[in-house]
């Protein structure tokens, strides 16, 4: 009888670093790939209750794209905590003021809502330009797996 593999929490120093270029990438599709790496589902040693994910560095976050009319129709909500303190911003306003927040909120929406997910989200580093201060970690550029074409015969 085989036992199910359970990852121990001792491999904290064996985290890899991946580099994503968000230039002309669709936010939702990019966020799913990033969330998968942060959680650790791309590894064979994935264990749900152990943080097996890696670090992710995203550059060119100000050059992401959205499909359809989302630049004007998609709304982001924040609340000040006071009565009538609901603040709304369109995606275009978010891109002008906080372009990295668009991608961060998209990734957070695709993760499990737990204390562990908050810790995993701290491994996400998002920058608006092409420069980042993580060159010493030698991040490898992430190549998305090839998608199967749905050609009809």
Of 112, 100, 136, nearest in space to 36 by CA: 112
Domain CATH number, residue 59: 3.90.1180.10
Is the predicted pLDDT of residue 142 greater than 60, yes or no? yes
- Number of structural domains the chain divides into: 1
- Which residue segment(s) compose the domain that 127 sits in? 17-65+98-141
**pTM assigned to the model:** 0.88
Report the DSSP pairing between strands 17-21 and 140-141.
Answer: parallel
| 12 — pLDDT class (breaks 50, 70, 90) | low
75 domain residue, yes or no: no
147 domain residue, yes or no: no
151 domain residue, yes or no: no
81 domain residue, yes or no: no
Is the predicted pLDDT of residue 153 greater than 60, yes or no? no
146 domain residue, yes or no: no
56 domain residue, yes or no: yes
CA atoms within 13 Å, Cβ hemisphere of 50: 14
């Amino acid at each position: 009888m085989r036992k199910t593999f359970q990852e121990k929490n001792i491999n904290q120093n064996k985290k890899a670093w991946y580099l994503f270029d968000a230039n002309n990438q669709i936010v939702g599709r990019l966020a799913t790939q990033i969330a998968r790496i942060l959680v650790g589902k791309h590894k064979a040693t994935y264990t749900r209750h152990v943080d097996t994910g890696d670090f992710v560095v995203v550059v060119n976050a100000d050059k992401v794209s959205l499909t359809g009319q989302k630049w004007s129709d998609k709304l982001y909500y924040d609340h000040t905590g006071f009565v009538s303190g609901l603040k709304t911003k369109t995606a275009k306003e978010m891109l002008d003021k906080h372009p990295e927040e668009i991608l961060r909120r998209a990734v957070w929406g695709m993760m499990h809502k737990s204390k562990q997910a908050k810790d995993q989200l701290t491994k996400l580093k998002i920058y608006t330009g092409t420069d980042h201060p993580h060159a010493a970690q030698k991040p490898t550029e992430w190549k998305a797996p090839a998608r199967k074409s749905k050609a009809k015969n």
